[in-house]
């Protein structure tokens, strides 16, 4: 079966750096995705890692270690608008469920 673990909630200060961790157990791994979802809105795609290492995209970076079943999303220079849920999702090569989501981490940015 598939399993994803990420913290339920985190709080960080405006201007700071925050790291949201995600660990997974899966078969047929085909990459790891991060999505951002503001309350009442659609999830929006942030990043995709299929190989080990760090992918940087502006203030956001995502890291993957396939051997450890571990990923993190790093948010720098936090802004109030970064308050949202961050969803870790694993891509699967086979089966009907080709994208398996975690429950998400609700990040609150405080002044």
Partner 1 sequence: ETGVTQTPRHLVMGMTNKKSLKCEQHLGHNAMYWYKQSAKKPLELMFVYSLEERVENNSVPSRFSPECPNSSHLFLHLHTLQPEDSALYLCASSQDRAQPQHFGDGTRLSIL
Give the nearer residue to partner 1 in terms of CB position, either 33 or 63: 33
Task: Name the minimum Å distance from CB 96 to partner 1.
Answer: 5
Using alpha carbons only, give the angle 30, 32, 36 rounded to the nearest 5 degrees. Answer: 145
Phi and psi at 82, nearest 5°, equal -80, -10
**Of 26, 31, 55, 61, the one binding partner 1 by CB under 8 A:** 31
Asked if 24 contacts 88 with a C-beta cutoff of 8 angstroms, the reply is: yes
**Of 24, 33, 63, 72, the one binding partner 1 by CB under 8 A:** 33
Contact range with partner 1 by CB under 8 A, out of 17-25, 40-48, 56-64, 69-77: 40-48
- Retrieve residue 17's tokens: 């750096």
């Amino acid at each position: 079966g598939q399993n994803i673990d990420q913290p339920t909630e985190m709080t960080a200060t405006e201007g700071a750096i925050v790291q949201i961790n995600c660990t997974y157990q899966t078969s047929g791994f085909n990459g790891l995705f991060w999505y951002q979802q503001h309350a009442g809105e659609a999830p929006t795609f942030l990043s995709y890692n299929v190989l080990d290492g760090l992918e940087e995209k502006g203030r956001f970076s995502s890291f993957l270690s396939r051997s450890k079943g571990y990923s993190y999303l790093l948010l720098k220079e936090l802004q109030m608008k970064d308050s949202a849920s961050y969803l870790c999702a694993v891509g699967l090569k086979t089966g009907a469920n080709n994208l398996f989501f975690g429950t998400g981490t609700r990040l609150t940015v405080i002044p």
